[in-house]
Amino acid sequence: MIKEHDFIAIGGGSGGYNAARVARQYFDNVAIIDGAKELGGLCILKGCMPSKTLIYSAEVLHLAQQGTRFGLSIPKAKVDMKALHERKLATIKEFTDYRVESMESGKFHLYRNFAKFISNDTVELDDGTQLKGKHFIIATGSYVSKPPIPGIDLPEIWTSDDVLDLSELPESAIVLGGGVVACELTQFLHRVGCKTIQIQRSPHILKDQAPDVSKVVEKALIKEGVDLLTDTKLLSISKTDSGFDVTFEHKGTQVTRSAKHVVNALGRSPATASLGLENAGIELEPNGQIQTDKYQRTSNPAVYAAGDCTGPFEIVHTAVLQGELAAYHASGIEKTPLNYDHMLDVVFTNPQVARVGLTEKELKKRNIEYIAADYPFDDHGKSILMEAKHGFVRLFGEKPTGKILGAEIVSKDAGELIHALSVAVSHGLTAASLLQTHWYHPTLSEIISYPLEDIVDELAVQ
């Protein structure tokens, strides 16, 4: 017997669940398929929420340990890993309980299985059940990549999942990679008291950011005591009696670093291999992500995709927006497609990195005339009194309109500051119009007014 549904979400994380939630407004018969051990998705269970809970606790600890800089005497500040772990579990439980309650509310047909396509409109579950759908969305996320490095398959090597689930303080760790996850985990481990080495293959960590942005974070990590090595070539990982050896080339020399643990943070790959996409006529991009149009529709017009499995940005709020857009489109509701020129992303290191809109590299590629203006945090009142002097804010204003096309902030709480500029980019506001806003003194946000003034002044003299 084949069961039929109006809308089927394959994956119950942020993209799939929110697609199903919207679809349920227009269809009576909506199904969610999720075979994971726990319901909730990557963000809640193993991503955003647990990592940021731990990172914030580590920041509080770091500030306490730096108390003398603020005129404070805090004799003893150290981590209690068991208590930290329990706080994390309690925090994410609130989000997990809400998501599970919603999925099990009776609004959806919930299948706790894995699925694969057997035709263009039918999937088969791992228990043999077949489901036929009028519309599908694939939101199966991603998994930790394993590049072709000898030893990377050793079962004792940790991933981000293992680090986020620690209840005891590790003695030492080598973090492989220089992306967002690698940098956040490196700083977290170091701040809670683990001797941490970070090995990055590219010349800079956070290689997708502007080089001078990456350098700010590099200097901060090194100043804190992280052993950071960039521009390397990983050669091998081997197990030893005391932990691991990682061998790599660095500045023309073969180097070996040793630690009790190794963390593979070398990136993630789309989780699509077991879905039988070829049976449904669904095509992939060269990087393995699912090919979609502006409405998230795949090469099979009845099937949509959202989140990490399709990209182009592996960010949870993007997955939510993609899932919602797909569900509206499947329901016949016209919505404006996502504008990736307005994309927003944040790295939760300290200093944080935040970016919105077009980068300088992209502006040059498109031959767009612009003015770049920046201002450093080490010459700004609020950041000085907070001992948060790392970094700068940089704005890109279009010529001759002054419209804000993009912005970069590397600083304390950059992820909070960037939203004022996200509003500006998304709504086409100009530097002159933003200067009509009141920028309160003394605040971190006030620094944004300085490059705005520079853009307005430069346009006035041209």
What DSSP string describes 202-247? Answer: SSSSSTTS-HHHHHHHHHHHHHHT-EEE-SEEEEEEEEETTEEEEE
Mean pLDDT computed over 33-42: 91
Q: Which of 34-43, 276-285, 330-339 has the lowest mean pLDDT?
A: 34-43
pLDDT of residue 64: 97
Mean pLDDT computed over 92-98: 92
Q: Please give the CATH number for the structural domain made up of 160-266.
A: 3.50.50.60
pLDDT of residue 294: 97
Sheet of 232-240: strands edge to edge? 232-240, 243-250, 253-259
CATH classification for the domain delimited by 2-144+269-338, as one of 3.40.50.10320, 1.20.1250.20, 3.50.50.60, 3.30.365.10 = 3.50.50.60
Q: Please give the CATH number for the structural domain made up of 341-460.
A: 3.30.390.30
pLDDT of residue 142: 95
Provide the percentage of residues in the chain whose pLDDT is more than 90: 96
User: pLDDT at residue 41 above 90?
Assistant: no
pLDDT of residue 42: 85
Residues of each domain in the chain carrying CATH 3.30.390.30: 341-460
Mean pLDDT computed over 352-362: 98
User: pLDDT at residue 315 above 90?
Assistant: yes
| Burial readout 286-307 (b: 16 or more C-beta within 10 A, e: otherwise) | eeebbebeebbbbebebbbbbb
pLDDT of residue 390: 96
How confident is the model over 432-462, as pLDDT tens digits? 999 999 999 999 999 999 999 999 999 998 7
Kindly state the DSSP code that residue 74 receives in the 8-state scheme.
-
Kindly state the DSSP code that residue 324 receives in the 8-state scheme.
H
Mean pLDDT computed over 71-85: 96
pLDDT of residue 461: 82
Mention every residue, 6+ apart, whose C-beta is less than 8 A from residue 302.
120, 121, 133, 134, 135, 136
pLDDT of residue 1: 77
CA distances for 5 relative to 36, 136, 340, angstroms: 21, 9, 32
pTM above 0.85, yes or no: yes
How confident is the model over 15-24, as pLDDT tens digits? 999 999 999 9
Residues of each domain in the chain carrying CATH 3.50.50.60: 2-144+269-338, 160-266
How confident is the model over 228-277, as pLDDT tens digits? 999 999 999 999 999 999 999 999 999 999 999 999 999 999 999 999 99
How confident is the model over 187-203, as pLDDT tens digits? 999 999 999 999 999 99
